[in-house]
Structure 1
């Protein structure tokens, strides 16, 4: 029998997204499958709609909005399966999107997590920002993807149709073995949202496990469903959380050196926001730094017991992606 798989969709006031995309998930061809919607205390009638329109779907309700990270922690603590699939509510799926990824993960006990190819729902010829063909990190822990570097998104021509080990798998469609989810203790609730899947994958890699990309399955993501790029809070979370996951997952000596460099690079970003008159975004960067230091001791207590040398991780790019992209004008992953 195929392993038990639970597709878990976290919802917060996303009734319109459930109406549009949940039917495609229900049509998934995988046999040993349970579909669960975890509701983060929605006020838009989402739960009533689910109970009426999809009575066979299990709904688990939370008492308040816990955000992406803690929301999933609370829901998945109530789910029994061999594999969890964390699926965003704004993702459309074809019928056979599960089995190829599960087959890949079943082939190696050391594979803890994986992602399918993630493409744009509005233009399915292109990759999508949040994941594309697998996540990587540069020498200063800037995340980027095969198929997406900063704001440049590539057309999928089959150039990344190889199954490879990556640094991080996207939370938009994250496949993870439930025993490794529990071993890593799930997502870090203090991150709230953004980069929480990178932190999880980094912790798994420090434990010696693999994160994989499966090109034989693809999903179609709308993106920006919770926070879009014009929201300063997203800027705040990205800058703050990037520093937090570096402190947690790097050795103390590596963390000191790399965070110092990142502060200098973040200062350039802050000044650039000010030069463009984007004061709210400059303030978001400043607040991110302030809150990082404010919670430094709390984060320190959560450091991984084991930190493998950063440069030895597969999926780590040994140059600066900022320099390659903005100075050398290299926009595509295949040209790095």
Structure 2
């Protein structure tokens, strides 16, 4: 039986993380499992209260907020499993979840990474994710399969390849990480899983999704549905993704598209919503890509004060 390391990150969301840990304890029957929680520089260190409450969980404290990519990479470095199950702390497990994903990875050597179906927690009849199409380098856009559909069992029998796995819940083989590397730390949050997915695909592995494996997702519990923090990194990393992955001609077309279409559209949206401060945030995101190497670890945003 392969060992599974469940890795999750906490940042100022102690109650949400505890709900995840409780859901794992209540639903999981897979025996060879370890759970690792990385506290990503929370304002108040939660480890003193967690250690006696969850004695079987491994806790790691980072004094700095290293983001989704950096926090997961810390957890993976500590993990001893054959498979790493990276899950957002704002998720809740369902019965058989781990076993179903392990079965696919065990039986299919070409599969390097797999996600379950993600369902919104606020309405557990609505699907969030059943796969992604590949990103179009000309626009840096793709589509989420099944998103916002009513779940009437239409994907329950689906098992197969997808463009990328979902960062909210993805189980990856250790050997995949050995060949493709870990997530790039300089994304911090957003686009890091699709950038990783590009490298996993190029390493010769496939990404799959299984429809009868389900996890519930309380989306955007940490950064909010729309915030300056999110707006900055979504724009900065959209450009950064293209710099990491697109061929030169396609990258050039994207830059033209972004400046002539995306920027004016976003500014109009900010003005309509009276979010005038977002205009400068957008240009900060663009300027970072102008002034920084694509592998630069400087983020251009104060992250530890964002809750």
Q: TM-score, normalised by structure 1?
A: 0.81
Q: CA deviation at 1:288?
A: 1.3
Higher mean C-alpha displacement, 99-108 vs 190-199:
99-108
Aligned to 2:78: 78
Aligned to 1:291: 288
Secondary structure (helix, strand or coil) at the match of 1:144 reads: coil
For the pair 1:273 / 2:282, whether they are aligned, the reply is no
CA–CA distance in structure 2, aligned partners of residues 222 and 265 of structure 1: 32
CA–CA distance in structure 2, aligned partners of residues 292 and 40 of structure 1: 25
Aligned to 1:327: none
Aligned to 1:96: 96
For the pair 1:136 / 2:133, whether they are aligned, the reply is yes
Relative distance call for 1:154 and 1:58 in structure 2 (3 A) is same
Q: CA deviation at 1:278?
A: 2.4
Q: How does 1:302-313 map to 2 (within 5 A)?
A: none
**Contiguous gaps of at least 5 residues in structure 1:** 303-336
CA–CA distance in structure 2, aligned partners of residues 263 and 107 of structure 1: 46
Q: CA deviation at 1:81?
A: 1.1
Q: How does 1:36-185 map to 2 (within 5 A)?
A: 36-128=36-128, 132-139=129-136, 140-148=139-147, 153-161=148-156, 162-185=158-181
CA–CA distance in structure 1, aligned partners of residues 135 and 85 of structure 2: 27
Relative distance call for 1:206 and 1:268 in structure 2 (3 A) is farther
Aligned to 2:303: none
Instruction: Give per-residue Cα distances to partners, 1:245-283, cap 9 Å, x unaligned.
Output: 111112222222233223323123223224413212232
Secondary structure (helix, strand or coil) at the match of 1:213 reads: strand
Q: CA deviation at 1:45?
A: 4.5
Q: CA deviation at 1:106?
A: 2.0
CA–CA distance in structure 2, aligned partners of residues 203 and 8 of structure 1: 21
Aligned to 2:242: 246
Aligned to 2:300: none
Higher mean C-alpha displacement, 72-81 vs 254-263:
254-263
Q: CA deviation at 1:294?
A: 1.4
Relative distance call for 1:301 and 1:225 in structure 2 (3 A) is closer
Aligned to 2:221: 225
Relative distance call for 1:8 and 1:268 in structure 2 (3 A) is same
Relative distance call for 1:229 and 1:301 in structure 2 (3 A) is closer
Q: Contact conserved, 2:36 with 2:75, CA < 8 A, in 1? A: no
CA–CA distance in structure 1, aligned partners of residues 21 and 229 of structure 2: 28
Q: CA deviation at 1:183?
A: 2.4
Secondary structure (helix, strand or coil) at the match of 1:218 reads: strand
Aligned to 1:257: 253
Aligned to 1:23: 22
Secondary structure (helix, strand or coil) at the match of 1:102 reads: helix
Q: Contact conserved, 1:15 with 1:44, CA < 8 A, in 2? A: no
Q: CA deviation at 1:126?
A: 0.6
Higher mean C-alpha displacement, 186-195 vs 54-63:
54-63
Relative distance call for 1:75 and 1:300 in structure 2 (3 A) is closer
Higher mean C-alpha displacement, 66-75 vs 135-144:
135-144
Secondary structure (helix, strand or coil) at the match of 1:299 reads: coil
Q: TM-score, normalised by structure 2?
A: 0.89
Relative distance call for 1:60 and 1:271 in structure 2 (3 A) is closer
Higher mean C-alpha displacement, 9-18 vs 154-163:
154-163
CA–CA distance in structure 2, aligned partners of residues 301 and 53 of structure 1: 39
Task: Compute the RMSD of aligned alpha carbons.
Answer: 1.9
For the pair 1:216 / 2:215, whether they are aligned, the reply is no
Task: Give the ranges of 4+ consecutive aligned residues of structure 1 lying more than 4 Å apart after TM superposition.
Answer: none
CA–CA distance in structure 2, aligned partners of residues 271 and 58 of structure 1: 45
CA–CA distance in structure 2, aligned partners of residues 31 and 79 of structure 1: 16
Q: Contact conserved, 1:26 with 1:35, CA < 8 A, in 2? A: no
**Contiguous gaps of at least 5 residues in structure 2:** 298-307
Query: Aligned pair count?
Result: 292
